[in-house]
Every structure is written in C-alpha cells, then in structure tokens.
Structure 1
Amino acid sequence: MKSNVLNQDVMLPLDRFPVVSSKFYLKQALEEMTRHTFGIACVTDEGGKLLGIFTDGDMRRLTLRQQKPWSALFVDDIMDHSTKNPVTVSPEMPLVEAVKLMEQKHIWDLPVVDADGKLVGLLHLHQAIKHLLGI
C-alpha cells in the first residue's frame, strides 16, 4: 500500500466536480451535480472559500421534510439546504488517513481545502482506492 501519497496527489481539480456559488438556486446546483455525475456539490463564496456542501442525501432528506411543491423548492437558495460545516481534509494530509476518515464518517467525498478554507479539490473514494491499490 502507498502510505506516502498525499490527498493533493489524488484529488480532483475544481473543474472536474460541481462547485457552485452560494447565490445559486437549488435547481442550478442539481443541474451541476447531474452534469458532473457526482452526488455532491461544493458551495463556495466569490473568493473560493468553502461555505458548505449539498449532497444527494440532502436532497432526499429535504424532499421528505419539506411540504412544498417541487417547483417551490427549486427556487430556494442552495445555502438554505446545505451542510454548513462539512468534514474536510487538507491537501497535505496522507491519503490513507483521509480514506480512514471516509470510512469512519461513512462518506464517499471529501472537500479538500487549504489553510484559509479555500476549496482546492475533491477527494473521491473511488479515485483514492484505485490509487492506493495501484489500479
């Protein structure tokens, strides 16, 4: 197993996963998630700082919790329904540690942020495992 690999060696760059503005509507975030085929959208401010995440699971819970018509939900601000303190990792963290964290938290994706909280990438479990296994 490659224990000296860091998150920055495997993380997806910003253009390979959904990154949406905090000003986006829920519908726009869902469109980005569909376009990139990921179950997560990272929500950032104008400077790229991570403000939260929105996942397929969040949409499922929102649908069950809200008694609004679908069309009304689609015009809600994405931040109304985002997880505002998501689990994140640094680019310099060993990949093995990040995968252990994913296992503990039962999550498939981890936003990678720098020391200032700026989003720099996304660690996706499939890419991490493939890299660790050398496939």
Structure 2
Amino acid sequence: MPNAKQFKQLAANVIDIEKQAIENLHNYIDDEFAKACQLMFDCSGRVIVIGMGKSGHVGGKIAATLASTGTPAFFVHPGEASHGDLGMVTSSDVVLAISNSGETAEVLAIMPVIKRIGSTLIGMSGNTNSTLAKLSDVHICIAVPQEACPLGLAPTSSTTATLVMGDAMAVALLNARGFTADDFALSHPGGSLGKRLLLRLEDVMHSGDRLPTIHYRALIKDALVEMTQKGLGMTAITDDDGRLLGLFTDGDLRRILDEQVNLHHDYIESVMTKHPVVAKRQMLAAEALKLMEDKSINGLIIVNDDNEPVGAMNMHDILKAGVL
C-alpha cells in the first residue's frame, strides 16, 4: 500500500516528465510550424480540427481556443465525419488532423475524402514517417521522449504536448491578426470575464435626473439634500456654465463636522474637493475599479470633453454589475 510520500514522489515524477515533453517542443517550432500558421492565417474558410480519443478531447480544446482568439474553427469527430459531418468541410477550409501515432484508423479513413474536397491538410503527430505525416500538406511534429504513464500506454505527455502546441499556434495567430482585448470580449460576453472586458462606465453610471449636481454658490445644507436624494454619497459642484469645479462626498461631510462650519450659511465651494479624480464615459468599468482602488476613493464623476458632468457612479455600482 503506497504512503503519502510515495504518492507525492510519483506525482512529482509525472510533472518532471511532462515538463521535459514541453521543453522538447522547442525543437519543432520550425519552418513547418510557420507554414501551418501561415495556412491558417490565410484561410478564407474555417479551421476544422479532427482527432480521435484523447487526441479528440485535446482537439476540441484547440478548436475552441482558435475560435475564441480570432481564427474561426470547430471540432469534427472523425467517426461522425464518416457518417455525414464531412459535409461541413469545404475546399476553403484548413483541416488540422491530430493523431499521436499518425496511424489512427478513424482519422486516416476520411483523409481521401479531405483530399478530394480540396481542403488543405495540416497533420499533427508524433511520427514524421507516419501515414498522416505523408498525406499532409504540412506536418507538425509533437513527439515526446516518453509518456508519464509508467506503462507507456496512457496518453499523458503526448496529450500535454499536443495541447501546448495548439496553444502556441493559437497565440501566434492571435498576434499576427492584431487581435485585441475588445475582439476577445466579443466572443466572451458572458460571466464576469465578459463584463470585465465589455462593460464601460456609460453602462453603469447614473445620469440625467439621477446625477447629483449642485451650483458652487449653493449652501452646504442644499448639497446634503442633493446627496441624500440621489443616494450616491457625493455630489458634483458646477460653475455658472455647468462645468465641474469640485466634488463633495460623505467623507468630506465627516471631515467638516470637526471644523467650524455652518451648514446653513456656508457655501459648498468653501468645503468642496477641488480638481477631483474624473473619468470619461468610454472607460472600461474594470479600469475605473482599479483607478478607484489606486486613488482610495469610492466614487467617480464622469465628464465630457467640455468638463461637464454627465454621470456619476460609485464602487457599489461596479460590484453590482459583476465586475470583480
């Protein structure tokens, strides 16, 4: 019966073997790799990823990564391909066929049809002399020194190497396309990731009648009424032309209570914070969150190009929107 020490040692051995498999991939970032990337970059159709068994599971992830980083792609199971799904493949597509041995029967069975359709074929295998390698227009080698499985049977290092090589292609293509965070956001609109990438201040700010503003010659008590009615814990202070002069917050109120200030007779301009931190409505909510954290503030006034307040928001608005 193995003990805890043996379990940890076995796990460490697996990590060392798979790390070596990844390091070995540097040998295969060659002209064939560059040609494969160029073919996918120039592809006017889609990249169709095909693989069986564990290679198929990895292939599905590679297709998903390509699709989410600017290279239209999807996975086709070779068994289903033989029963109708090859109808999704066209001559404009690039087929990325994955087989560690390069001899997987289900994958090789559809190669003649792929050739007849006229699709470009990129093979990915651990054997440069395999049937798949010979049939391919371009072949990417993913050979590993050894599997992490002590029996040398279960795909372990080989699937890890395949996955990493797929990531290498996807990221190389992402950079070649000039793919941006905004582009990435368009394919990830759901959940907190999409909100971090897509949500802008104009989507969460309080504007119009909900925007707390008051004239600089208003009394402090009137500013407190405005803050209470709008419920943001602050109010913008504006000049005669409606431009921002300052800000008054709950924190400022606590500060002035210790001073000789008359709430009913003193003007708000005498206690406001001049030159407050502001933002533009196009700023990402995630950027605004970092700005507030860096400046140790809980709210922002959003201004236009003429320095006129057009919105206001606080930390709660961003957190409520799911931007974490």
Q: Is TM (by shorter chain) over 0.5?
A: yes
Instruction: Tell me the distance in 2 between the aligned counterparts of 1:97 and 1:107.
Output: 14
> After superposition, what is the alpha-carbon deviation per residue over 1:83-135, rounded to whole angstroms, capped at 9, x for unaligned?
0110000111111100111111222210001122110001222221222359x
Give CA deviations for 1:2-21 in whole Å, capped at 9, x if unaligned: 21221111111131142111
Q: Which runs of 5+ in 2 are unaligned?
A: 1-192
Corresponding position of 2:230: 36
- Cross-structure match for 2:260: 67
> In structure 2, the residue corresponding to 1:60 is in which secondary structure?
helix
Q: Does 1:111 align with 2:305?
A: no
Q: CA deviation at 1:38?
A: 2.7
1:18 maps to 2:212: yes
User: What residue number does 1:82 align with?
Assistant: 272
1:12–1:124 CA contact under 8 A, matched in 2: no
Give CA-to-partner distance per residue, 1:69-88, whole Å, 9 cap, x none.
xxx34211100000011000
SS at match of 1:23: coil
Aligned partners of 2:211 and 2:310 also within 8 Å: no
Distance in 2 (alpha carbons) for counterparts of 1:35 and 1:12: 13
Match of 1:74, SS? coil
CA distance in 1 between counterparts of 2:201 and 2:312 reads: 9
On the 8 A contact 1:14/1:122 being kept in 2, the answer is no
Structure 1 residue 53 displacement after superposition:
0.5
Q: Is 2:123 aligned against 1:123?
A: no
Instruction: Report the AA paired with residue 225 of structure 2.
Output: E
**Which residue number in structure 1 is paired with residue 286 of structure 2?**
96
Measure, in 2, the Cα distance between the counterparts of 1:121 and 1:91: 8
Q: Secondary structure at the match of 1:24?
A: coil
**8 Å CA contact 1:29, 1:78 repeated in 2:** yes
Which residue is 2:11 aligned to?
none
Higher-RCO chain (CA-CA 8 Å, sequence separation at least 6): 1
Counting aligned pairs with the same residue, the percent is 39
Alignment partners' CA distance in 1, 2:263 and 2:199? 41
Q: Distance in 2 between matches of 1:32 and 1:129?
A: 24
- Tell me, in whole angstroms, the C-alpha distance in 1 between the residues paired with 2:305 and 2:271: 25
Per the normalisation by structure 1, the TM-score is 0.87
CA distance in 1 between partners of 2:249 and 2:204 (Å): 21
Equivalent pairs, count: 130
> Amino acid of the residue matched to residue 318 of structure 2?
A
The 2-side partners of 1:122 and 1:67 are apart by 29
Provide the secondary structure at the position in 2 that maps to 1:48.
coil
* Letter aligned with residue 250 of structure 2: D
Q: Which has the greater radius of gyration? A: 2
Asked if structure 1 preserves the Cα contact closer than 8 Å seen for 2:236 and 2:246, the reply is: yes
Q: CA deviation at 1:42?
A: 0.8
